[in-house]
Amino acid sequence: MTATPTNIAETPGAKPDVLSEILRGVRLSGSVFLDGRFCAPFGVISPQRWDEVGPLAHLRHVSVFHLITRGHAQLEIADGSVTEVKAGDVLLLPFTAAHRFWCGDNPEFAYAPDLLQPGSIPGVDLVRYGTQGDETRFVCGFLESAELLAAPFFRALPPLIVERTSDGPASDLFTNTAREIVQRVDGGDPSATYLLSRLMEVLFLEVLHRHVARLPPDAKGIFAATSDAVVSRALSLLHNAPNKRWTVETLAQEAGASRTILTERFNRLIGKSPMEYLTHWRIQLAADRLKTGSHRLAQVSHEAGYESEAAFSRAFKRVMGVSPGAWRTA
């Protein structure tokens, strides 16, 4: 998992909407890590994490994609639910929990890491498992992020999202992106790593758009909030300028709503007031800065929108439970 962190909101093809804008501060990187071909009967167990000992592993969040390009299989996730998946399906497992997939009767389950072979593209391993029956092919990718920044978004997702590629006009970008990923893997070009990274980010953003479009009218959470005209505008403003001296009044005015309406909708959809949400987002940004660089505390507090280090330290400890200094050295 060595892809260069990029800004998903600037990914080619990404839609210039509030969902892209609120992800702008979340550094996401991704790529393809596996090209697997399995002949029935087969069974494979995928572990929870592929790398538990990497730097700051406890502060990273990794999600996994499976693109099913041929055949079919049963997929069982951590809660025990089983889903039939088939060619044309794109699967997102936001939490990378242990899962297993199989095809055929009474398969023997192999441990996925034991099957890996190096491929021609750096970081993309090969699996060739089974020799008898019909082939099922998985092209698997990952999306990695700083846990603190990404947590509100990933935790609002279900444990498994299944999307279907199609030839319909509304899904052209989604279908073409999935197809391009597979074609680049088939090409075996070692220089394809960067492009695969960007394509995986586009795929993720399109899955989020599809997920949001299917939410029921009474849904709550950050993704439901992006469909609310008032709250989505306010979220866009806060994420684009987190260090601005916001008040509920100025935020409501710029979002085109009354203070009462803005506060009520924020509380109903997100479970926090606008200023509570802003405080948590500022602290998440600051906590990430403290962990990933040598920035001075005064600089971090200023960038987080606080007039003094003391005010910043109080807010940081209230949200994180420890002081900025203790957090940085933990």
Give the model confidence (pLDDT) of 171-180 as tens digits.
788 889 999 9
156 pLDDT tier (thresholds 50, 70, 90) = confident
Judge whether residue 254 has pLDDT over 50.
Answer: yes
Give the model confidence (pLDDT) of 21-48 as tens digits.
667 667 778 889 999 999 999 999 998 7
Give Cα 211 to chain centroid, integer Å: 13
Residue whose tokens read 């441990």: 111
Same domain assignment for residues 204 and 263: no
How is residue 101 written in tokens? 């997939």
Same domain assignment for residues 102 and 12: yes
Element of type H or E holding 235: helix 229-240
Same domain assignment for residues 76 and 208: yes
Domain stops at, among 190, 214, 238: 214
Question: Cα separation of 87 and 280, whole Å?
Answer: 41
Work out the percent of the chain whose per-residue pLDDT is above 90.
Answer: 55
80 pLDDT tier (thresholds 50, 70, 90) = very high
Pick from 149-153, 161-165, 260-264: least confident:
149-153
Same domain assignment for residues 196 and 76: yes
Q: What is the pTM of this model?
A: 0.81
Domain stops at, among 166, 186, 214: 214
Same domain assignment for residues 280 and 154: no
Give the model confidence (pLDDT) of 110-122 as tens digits.
999 999 999 999 9
Residue whose tokens read 């029956």: 133
Task: Please compute the mean of the pLDDT values over residues 149-176 and round it to a whole number.
Answer: 79
Give the model confidence (pLDDT) of 264-321 as tens digits.
999 999 999 999 999 999 998 898 888 877 889 999 999 999 989 999 999 999 998 9
Question: Cα separation of 47 and 44, whole Å?
Answer: 10
Work out the percent of the chain whose per-residue pLDDT is above 70.
Answer: 86
Q: Is residue 1 part of a domain?
A: no
Task: Please compute the mean of the pLDDT values over residues 136-153 and round it to a whole number.
Answer: 80
- Between the alpha carbon of residue 111 and those of residues 6, 42, 88, 102, the distances in Å are 32, 11, 25, 12
Check residue 14 and give its pLDDT: 36
Same domain assignment for residues 113 and 228: no
The phi-psi region of residue 123 (left if phi > 0; otherwise alpha if psi is between -120 and 50; otherwise beta) is left
Domain stops at, among 214, 248, 276: 214
Helix-then-strand count for the chain, H and E: 12, 13
Give the model confidence (pLDDT) of 85-119 as tens digits.
999 999 999 887 899 999 988 788 999 999 999 99
The domain in which residue 239 lies consists of: 222-329
Check residue 135 and give its pLDDT: 95
